[in-house]
A and B are shown apart, each in its own frame.
Chain A
Amino acid sequence: MENYIVRLRNLSVGYNGKPIIHDINVDITPGDIVTLIGPNGAGKSTILKSITRQLRLVAGDVYVQGKDLNAISYRELSSRLAVMLTDRIRPELMTCWDVVATGRFPYTGRLGLLSAEDHRIVERSMTEVHALELREQNFNEISDGQKQRVLLARAICQEPEIMILDEPTSFLDIRHKLDLLGILRRMTREKGITVIMSLHEIDLAQKVSDKVLCVKGDVIAGYGTPEEVFREQAITALYAIDSGSFDPLYGSVELPRVEGEPQVFVISNCGRGIPVYRKLQQQGIPFAAGILYENDLDCRLAERLAVQVVTEEPFVPIGDEAVARALALVERCGRVIAAGPRIGPGNRRLEEVLAAAEAAGKLERVE
């Protein structure tokens, strides 16, 4: 029981007493990163706002360190829990330093004067998010990505035990996304801070989270480790993806394959076919691929993008059946692209396929 830092018990959240999501039962272990994923409007922010007390709970309870949320004073809560919100703020005449320094408010006296120690903590927090050089700039005049980092520094500066972040990576470029998630990961590891956040990037959510909470309006669709949650069906169902696909292994998403009679047969392996697949997909040309070992890099993507894939079991010499299917494809397709396939003792018979294409005058070689 005491092992959980935040517990949501039979919680219903929503606006004006009308529940949007009900029966939320989630226990959060200290030092974990818990990520809320789900489609837009599913209620991720609603759940976060309820935990931060911006919204009244519709029903059920939230416990923070074993204490009922409603029994904790705002003041006490502020020294345990820091937030980073999606609300756009336009503070008047405040430098980035000033914005970060507001994170020290729960620790200052009546007039909010900062001590030398507070100054040090502000400076350290800004350094941690690589925002120290912004300190004298007006907050309203920096880019959205920079604002995001300054607000993160503000939350860090509050020295909380729990951090709640609503879509902290929006507006950030990929470098700063990775940076931010790296910082969060480090804080949980080194300081034991618990992070509860919502993310749009499911690939990043899978990689950074200890636990993932799938929010799909009405009820919670799932809660568990990324390995448990990130199954292809679960994700496509959660987001109601009906075009394209999600690869749970790499956490990558793909646009839908181009359907139709294959016009090109791509012969490749060891990842060299991937750029060719993508090119064909962009041009809207249906294609086939082969002969690929099932453990080949190309195979995983070919199965998502190609209309037909000729495969062979790993570590087994290519058999007659695969060769026959490949030869048939050479005949059916107008073009054959050989993307520099590597050939060794196991897949020696690929040469037969290449020779057939050559003879038919369809072979194009790309490196």
Chain B
Amino acid sequence: MTLSGAMTRRRRVRYTTVFCLLAAALFFLLVLNVNTGNVHISVGRILGIIFTRQGDPTEVDIIWKIRLPRLLMAAILGGALSVSGFLLQTFFENPIAGPFVLGISSGAKMVVALTMIWFLSRYAAVASAALIAAAFLGALLSMGFILLISRRVTHMASLLVAGIMIGYICTAVTEFVITFADDADIVNLHGWSQGSFSNMTWSNVGIAAGIVGAALVVTFLLSKPIGAFQLGEAYAQSMGVNIRLFRGLLILLSSLLSATVTAFAGPISFVGIAVPFLIKRALNTAKPIVVIPATFLGGAVFCTGCDLIARIAFAPTELNISTVTAVFGAPVVIFMMIRSRKRG
């Protein structure tokens, strides 16, 4: 008992430290985010505006209608994307699987683009519910293809290449329809299809928070079977996991999470791979019960940080969010591959 007691204590200290650091980083970034922008507003005035909603109407609008929804969205969607990546890595038993690499984000993007053009040619606006539904459909479509291919190819590298190809096909279709879309649509579509957290409304935040929150709770409740699944399918089943049901749930959850992100912010690269990897190393465990919440927090930190950079690096010009996430995420992925090669 004392043996395992000491071990458990040491681990708990590590988990607590990581969570505290993540929470502190998130808080710091949120404050920094709300405080930075083309229009300078002092901290005191910002606090006043947030807590009383009083002040210069332009400044109130900037804070309440632009900065706050945007940073909250970056946090929520960043977290969702990271958890989606973690689920896909569990499903494919490969650390380099992720919604972007497997073409799931691009699939969602394609169907969303088609839906947008169809809607905008008939109505003035598109309901976000319709966009999410479209994104979910697209995500499942890509996922379906990946699953079909995964039955034929056993080698993981081939599967990833297949995913990247699916991604390219979907992107090609998207670019194609954008090229022939009306001018009015293009402005909307183009920014979105490159990935961005701009132009978020409070109702968007509400919907995203609702969906992501629900998916996250279900994911967290799946901690135990996910943990069992880390020993492989056969062992998981011998521990009482209904594999078919479990696999189905993993697919639905990871698709739903990455679809929600795509519907609101477009495809965002590398977050889904890099964040779970870094978090698992930081915690020195892959235990889902700690990794899932930590990954969500980590994703929120990563994306609010990247969004901040996207906004201020070349202000007033804004960068695509994927540009920034790729700069930080891709080296992590390369590092992972070198490491796994070394270990054999």
Q: Which residues of A contact B230 (CB under 8 A)?
A: 91-92, 94
Within 8 A of A (CB), among B207-261: 221, 223-224, 227-228, 230-232, 234-235, 237-242
A98 contacts B7, C-beta separation under 8 Å: no
A78 contacts B286, C-beta separation under 8 Å: no
A91 contacts B4, C-beta separation under 8 Å: no
In the complex, whether A15 has a CB less than 8 A from a CB of chain B is no
A89 contacts B232, C-beta separation under 8 Å: yes
Given A92-B280, A93-B284, A110-B221, A123 contacting B238 (CB threshold 8 A):
no
Which residue of A74, A108, A111, A123 is within 8 Å of B242 (Cβ)?
Answer: A74
In the complex, whether B289 has a CB less than 8 A from a CB of chain A is yes
Which residue of A73, A93, A105, A140 is within 8 Å of B285 (Cβ)?
Answer: A93
In the complex, whether B95 has a CB less than 8 A from a CB of chain A is yes
Which residue of B3, B234, B343 is within 8 Å of A54 (Cβ)?
Answer: B234
A-B contacts at CB below 8 angstroms, number:
93
In the complex, whether B184 has a CB less than 8 A from a CB of chain A is no
| Of A80-88, A190-198, A246-254, the one with at least 4 CB within 8 A of chain B | A80-88
A98 to B286, CA, bound (A): 10
In the complex, whether A122 has a CB less than 8 A from a CB of chain B is yes
A140 to B343, CA, bound (A): 10
In the complex, whether A119 has a CB less than 8 A from a CB of chain B is yes
In the complex, whether B287 has a CB less than 8 A from a CB of chain A is yes
CB distance from B134 to the nearest CB of A (A): 34
CB distance from B272 to the nearest CB of A (A): 16
- What is the interface residue range for chain B against chain A? 20 to 34
Given A92-B95, A119-B4, A78 contacting B238 (CB threshold 8 A):
yes
A111 contacts B231, C-beta separation under 8 Å: no
A111 contacts B289, C-beta separation under 8 Å: yes
CB distance from B5 to the nearest CB of A (A): 8
Given A83-B234, A102-B239, A110 contacting B285 (CB threshold 8 A):
no
Q: Hey, what's the 0/1 contact readout for A194-216 against B, CB within 8 Å counting as 1?
A: 00000000000000000000000
B286 contacts A91, C-beta separation under 8 Å: yes
Which residue of A74, A97, A113, A158 is within 8 Å of B7 (Cβ)?
Answer: A97
A83 contacts B235, C-beta separation under 8 Å: yes
Which residue of B224, B237, B239 is within 8 Å of A111 (Cβ)?
Answer: B224
In the complex, whether B1 has a CB less than 8 A from a CB of chain A is yes
A105 contacts B95, C-beta separation under 8 Å: no
In the complex, whether A135 has a CB less than 8 A from a CB of chain B is yes
Which residue of chain B lies nearest to A83 when distances are taken between CB atoms in the complex? B238
Which residue of B1, B239, B286 is within 8 Å of A105 (Cβ)?
Answer: B239
Q: Hey, what's the 0/1 contact readout for B127-169 against A, CB within 8 Å counting as 1?
A: 0000000000000000000000000000000000000000000
Q: Which residues of A contact B224 (CB under 8 A)?
A: 105, 108, 110-112
Given A83-B234, A135-B3, A74 contacting B223 (CB threshold 8 A):
no
CB distance from A81 to the nearest CB of B (A): 7
Known: A82-B238, A111-B289. 17 other contacts (CB 8 A): A52-B234, A54-B234, A74-B241, A76-B240, A78-B239, A85-B234, A85-B235, A87-B232, A87-B235, A93-B285, A98-B287, A99-B231, A102-B231, A105-B224, A105-B227, A112-B223, A122-B4
What 4 pairs across the A-B complex have the smallest Cβ distances?
Answer: A78-B240, A112-B224, A75-B240, A92-B286
23 sample A-B contacts, Cβ–Cβ < 8 Å, listed by A number: A52-B238, A74-B237, A75-B240, A81-B238, A87-B234, A89-B235, A91-B230, A91-B286, A93-B281, A93-B285, A94-B286, A98-B285, A102-B231, A108-B224, A110-B224, A112-B223, A112-B227, A119-B1, A123-B3, A123-B4, A132-B3, A136-B7, A140-B343
